[in-house]
Amino acid sequence: MDGSLLKQLLIEYDSKRQLAILEAENRKNNLYLEHPEIEELDLKINNLSISSVKDILFLEPEKKEQKLKELQEKMDELIKEKNSLLKKLNIPDGYLEPNFECSICMDTGYIVNNSQTTMCPCLKQKMFNLEYNKSNIGNIEKENFDNFNFELYSNSSNYDLYKSNSSPRENIKVICELAHKFVDNFDSPEEKNLMFLGPTGLGKTFLSNCIAKELLSNR
Ligand SMILES: [Zn+2]
């Protein structure tokens, strides 16, 4: 993956994240205009959080615990009040939250777990898709083993024409089995390469796409 593609993706992530936050902010402001009582409750909640820090900071340790408990109870009450008000107004759950495309990384592209930062599956998938498109593998969505049509191959054998006692259909079935085996053993160092030889129109590209599709979806 080249770094500039990742950089480009992260710029896109940042824009969609900012947009989701901005939209949520707009929804909230519109709701405040219609229902100022919600804004009042939000203000109370914010003020309580700020005052709790101040209050607790200078308290003796034994009083701290009691104070914390009291503040938590007050906070729970306010949140409960706000939630029931939202419910009464038929505001759906999460309406005031940003609507991120990915709920795992919240459109940051990364997940922080136990102080370890890893790439989110959504970003990995996007990078994979870009690489996939760059790789010039054509029609991979249509040309896969599920759509392989054996009916296109004649079922009658003709030694003079095909230099084989098998019919083209029997032959392609053997080739497909080999291709499946190739996919199954792809990671094995014992597995040999495959080479398709023959004139155009026999299905070499189609079969290569089937293999590519199978390998990529197993990754
Ligand atoms: Zn994500």
Q: Is the pLDDT of residue 1 over 80?
A: no
Residue 149's CB is within 10 A of a number of other CB atoms, namely 9
pTM strictly above 0.85: no
pLDDT, tens digit (0-9, with 9 covering 90-100), for 186-205: 878 788 888 888 888 888 88
pLDDT, tens digit (0-9, with 9 covering 90-100), for 41-55: 999 999 888 877 777
Give residue limits of the domains in the chain.
3-117, 138-218
For residue 125, how far is its CA from the centre of ligand 1 (angstroms)? Answer: 9
Q: Is the pLDDT of residue 60 over 90?
A: no
For residue 111, how far is its CA from the centre of ligand 1 (angstroms)? Answer: 8
pLDDT, tens digit (0-9, with 9 covering 90-100), for 9-31: 999 999 999 999 999 999 999 99
For residue 124, how far is its CA from the centre of ligand 1 (angstroms)? Answer: 9
Tell me if 141 sits within 8 A of 216, measured CB to CB: no
Q: Among residues 151, 158, 200, which one has the least CA distance to residue 173?
A: 151
For residue 83, how far is its CA from the centre of ligand 1 (angstroms)? Answer: 28
Q: Give the span between the Cα atoms of 59 and 37, in whole angstroms.
A: 33
Q: Is the pLDDT of residue 3 over 90?
A: no
Q: Give the span between the Cα atoms of 16 and 9, in whole angstroms.
A: 11
Instruction: Report the mean per-residue pLDDT for the chain.
Output: 87
Tell me if 53 sits within 8 A of 76, measured CB to CB: no
Mean pLDDT over residues 113-128, rounded?
A: 90
The pLDDT value recorded for residue 90 is: 94
For residue 127, how far is its CA from the centre of ligand 1 (angstroms)? Answer: 12
For residue 210, how far is its CA from the centre of ligand 1 (angstroms)? Answer: 29
For residue 24, how far is its CA from the centre of ligand 1 (angstroms)? Answer: 19
Mean pLDDT over residues 108-120, rounded?
A: 92
For residue 121, how far is its CA from the centre of ligand 1 (angstroms)? Answer: 6
For residue 45, how far is its CA from the centre of ligand 1 (angstroms)? Answer: 30
For residue 133, how far is its CA from the centre of ligand 1 (angstroms)? Answer: 21
Q: Is the pLDDT of residue 213 over 90?
A: no
